[in-house]
Structure 1
Amino acid sequence: MLIEVDVETRRLVDLVPDREADTRAAWLAQPPGIEIVCRDRASFFAEGATRGAPQALQVADRWHLWHNLGEAADKCVYRHRGCLRPTPAHPEELHDPQHDLALSRAVTTEETFSGQWQSRAHARRLQALPRSALAGRLHQRLETVGGDQGTGYCPRGYAGVRAYVSRTLRGKSQPVGPRPPSARAAARWILTHPDALPAGDRLQLKAVLANYAELTALAEHVRPFGYMVAHLQGDQLPTWIEAATSATELPSLRSFAQHVERDLDAVTAGLTLPWNSGVVEGHAIRIKMLRPQMFGREGFDLLRKRLLLA
């Protein structure tokens, strides 16, 4: 079902039974003098408007543009989500010959986790590892030393060592520091105007952008587009598309820019003219409120008549 609204009077004009391009083209060909068609960027909307009202100026809705950009930004941040987590030391950095010697001299499993043989620096590096990685490293060391020879080590293999690590670390202090942000939180920070961010989020975003070039590049593309949406600066769109399509490290953003370029005239109009299809959303909510009141008897014809005669 498709809702047709007069954006000047903000009144519902008609309900169309489906969203096919042929149906929309046939409907648009009936009313004379259509000058502007507000739509989102779906292909059947564009095709129907072009065939049904070729004389009309098509205007892409700004909210849908920003929503599509937000989806592309979410995918970009998720693609680089690994950089949001604390990076553990590399295996070669964790390898400490003195620590290996001390570990081989440990008599019981408890001495593996306590005692003067473990340096603080190495302890901090081990704490940065997830429990599964720590258990795996310990299991390798125990196999090297010979854990099944009555030396006090757990003889149950990897599963037993992992269970022991979990029991030993439970209730003890964990690595100190703020919890790393999720990919969704980082994307929300990038999509929010810097002046509207709380102070804490602004500091975390600054730290993220200072360390990771890919997310910094994403923010540098998102903010100019947000400025165009907020201030109706559609004349800057070609420059933005050229910069975004060259961002090979951000494939989702590049794909979004390429799709915008294919619908350049409508998007430019949407970022230049004050018209939008926001009033349609209000009527859609109204229909969702009325349908339950009709107790399952809201056939298309009855629903259309009730809305048009209200």
Structure 2
Amino acid sequence: MCGADRLVKLAFSGLSPLVVEDVTDDGELVRVRARTPDGPAGCPGCGAATSRVHGYHERTLADVAIDARRVLVVVRVRRLVCPTGGCRQTFREQLPGVLERYQRRTARLAAQVGAVVRELAGRASARVLSALAIGLSRHSALRCLLRLPLPPLQVPRVLGVDDFALRRRRSYATILIDAETRRRVDVLPGRGADALEAWLRAHPGVEVVCRDGSAAYAEAVRRVLPDVVQVSDRWHLWHGLAAAVHTEVAAHSGCWAKAGPPPNDGPRAQTTRERWAQVHDLRDQGVGLLDCARRLNLSLNTVKRYARASEPERLVRAPAYRPTLVDPYRDYLKRRRADEPAAPVLRLFHEIKEQGYDGSFNLFVRYINQGRVDTDRPAISPRRVTRLLLTRPDRLTDSQHDRLGELTTACPEMIDLAGLVRGFAQLLHPADGNAHRLDEWITTARAADLPHLHAFTRGLDLDRAAVNAALTLPHHNGGTEGVNTKTKRIMRQMHGRAGFPLLRHRILLS
């Protein structure tokens, strides 16, 4: 019996402030009868201790399950008389940590429920809790989540700011974190300057703000804290350069593609050459860009692109081929066509069929008609060339090094572009002299015949102070991007049905 008593005490150790009188097994339910101790209790109004009992009543609470069975605790609670005149006449005693006011669960069960709903929210937490023999609806789970206390708001020294979509292209919100510890600070509705400006005015103490290239956030910080250091995100700087490099590579595809198969010479290429001639004829007559766009029924940006090109071949894109099932047999087909130029296509098809080709005849015929057998190597797309330019040289294979060397050698502008990419990559390692090196890099970039890169440098000038801080200080906005990734996972779990207050509550608790 002594061992059994110890097991009972261990199972109900969370109810130790109560006096357990009886435990009954009702099959799927374990019922515990208990009462409060007989000693004096303090009045919640005046704090005076009293043992004078006015009456008794019972409270029913759920407790942590035992052996996958629900536990119900029926507690006899005293109503006591306050001895202080003028104070409340009677009061019901409470036992902090066990019996909380208005609660139908013990404190330890409420802690377990809170831990589950903090991670899983509504329906998912209800399913998990049911497996733990805790009956809870999804609506009650959400109410429990909203009742969980938020961590105290501490204004960070280095603030990270970024936006995320509540509904893509419709509504957004702003998340604030401590950029040094990645602790979530607050979530604001909207992504305009007004919401951030109001928060900064109400919470002074920020010394550094890490953000992306958002002009709204920059303006909000300048209004409230004109002397604060704003740091642009280095990842966004590299991403902006990558977009400009891809546009330049695509614009020069007619030049660097000479290292591979010839450019397309179909109807689209012919139309490109005709439009280039029309634009340049009008420009030679002194017609403005906007008037050219009206006369030719083209957009202004398209006319600008044609006007910047010194020759139409720069606008004719190289063919971009995707990998096909014929690629493994390309060397064999090239040898066969060299030995027998008049070999019928059907015969070649049956020959590679015997070697294991399991594609269709139409795919094989298109492969032959595109000229992919006769060229030295398949065409490379502008996206792949951009990837080669943006990859660190020590991470390229020998074949990729050779391929990149062939492509850059075929086009003088590509040589300048490759050098500028390497130079900017070195600036992304923060150092004291990077601001001066950036001036030199911008001067070199503007001297090259790379108009799309010129647009990138003009964007740097618009936010130059924040860019200089990003290249010289160790702070960055990477932590905010990571928090945004977890925020998107939380929103997927909630299936977009939660309102902003509930979403904010869960983000700050995660």
TM-score by length of 2: 0.43
2:447 to 246, 249, 270: 246
Secondary structure of the 1:85 match is: helix
Structure 1 match to 2:247: 75
Return the offset for 1:171: 12
Q: 1:170 to 1:261 in 2, by over 3 A?
A: closer
2:471 to 256, 271, 287: 271
Structure 2: distance between partners of 1:29 and 1:228: 34
Return the offset for 1:16: 1.2
Q: For the aligned residues, what is the CA RMSD? A: 2.5
Structure 2's unaligned 5+ residue stretches are 1-172, 264-318, 320-364
1:283 correspondence with 2:483: yes
Secondary structure of the 2:176 match is: strand
Structure 2 match to 1:161: none
Structure 2 match to 1:116: none
1:38 to 197, 202, 210: 210
Q: 1:173 to 1:32 in 2, by over 3 A?
A: closer
2:244–2:452: 8 Å Cα contact kept in structure 1?
A: yes
Structure 2: distance between partners of 1:201 and 1:270: 31
Secondary structure of the 1:19 match is: coil
Q: 1:22 to 1:170 in 2, by over 3 A?
A: closer
**Counterpart residue type for residue 231 of structure 2:** V
Structure 1 match to 2:420: 221
1:27 correspondence with 2:27: no
Secondary structure of the 2:428 match is: helix
1:235–1:272: 8 Å Cα contact kept in structure 2?
A: no
Computing the radius of gyration from Cα coordinates, the structure with the larger value is 2
Return the offset for 1:88: 5.2
2:229 to 41, 51, 57: 57
Q: Stretches of 4+ moved more than 4 A in 1?
A: 169-173
1:27–1:52: 8 Å Cα contact kept in structure 2?
A: no
Structure 1 match to 2:288: none
Structure with greater contact order relative to length (CA < 8 Å, sep ≥ 6): 1
Give the 5 Å matches for 1:109-258: 174-232=373-431, 233-247=434-448, 249-258=449-458
2:496 to 283, 296, 299: 296
Structure 1: distance between partners of 2:217 and 2:204: 19
Return the offset for 1:216: 0.8
Summarize deviations over 1:1-54 as a string: whole Å, max 9, x none: 111011122100011111111222222222212110001112112111211322
Q: 1:22 to 1:174 in 2, by over 3 A?
A: same
Worse overlay, 227-236 or 210-219: 227-236
1:3–1:16: 8 Å Cα contact kept in structure 2?
A: yes
Q: State the identity as a percent.
A: 39
Q: 1:173 to 1:57 in 2, by over 3 A?
A: closer
Return the offset for 1:58: 0.3
**Counterpart residue type for residue 185 of structure 2:** V
Summarize deviations over 1:170-227 as a string: whole Å, max 9, x none: 6999314112321111111111121111111110101111121011111111111000
Structure 1's unaligned 5+ residue stretches are 90-129, 131-165
Return the offset for 1:282: 1.3
Q: 1:69 to 1:22 in 2, by over 3 A?
A: same
Structure 1: distance between partners of 2:459 and 2:474: 22
Structure 1: distance between partners of 2:392 and 2:246: 16
Structure 1: distance between partners of 2:257 and 2:451: 22
**Counterpart residue type for residue 403 of structure 2:** Q
Structure 2: distance between partners of 1:46 and 1:173: 51
Q: 1:178 to 1:23 in 2, by over 3 A?
A: same
Structure 2: distance between partners of 1:16 and 1:182: 42
Secondary structure of the 2:380 match is: coil
Structure 2: distance between partners of 1:42 and 1:306: 26
Structure 2: distance between partners of 1:260 and 1:170: 46
**Counterpart residue type for residue 308 of structure 1:** L
Secondary structure of the 1:44 match is: helix
Structure 2: distance between partners of 1:42 and 1:22: 13
Secondary structure of the 1:274 match is: coil
The structure with the largest strand share of the pair is: 2
Structure 1: distance between partners of 2:495 and 2:209: 34
1:25–1:53: 8 Å Cα contact kept in structure 2?
A: no
2:186–2:508: 8 Å Cα contact kept in structure 1?
A: yes
1:62–1:271: 8 Å Cα contact kept in structure 2?
A: yes
Structure 2 match to 1:260: 460
Q: How many residues align?
A: 234
Return the offset for 1:287: 1.1
Secondary structure of the 2:209 match is: strand
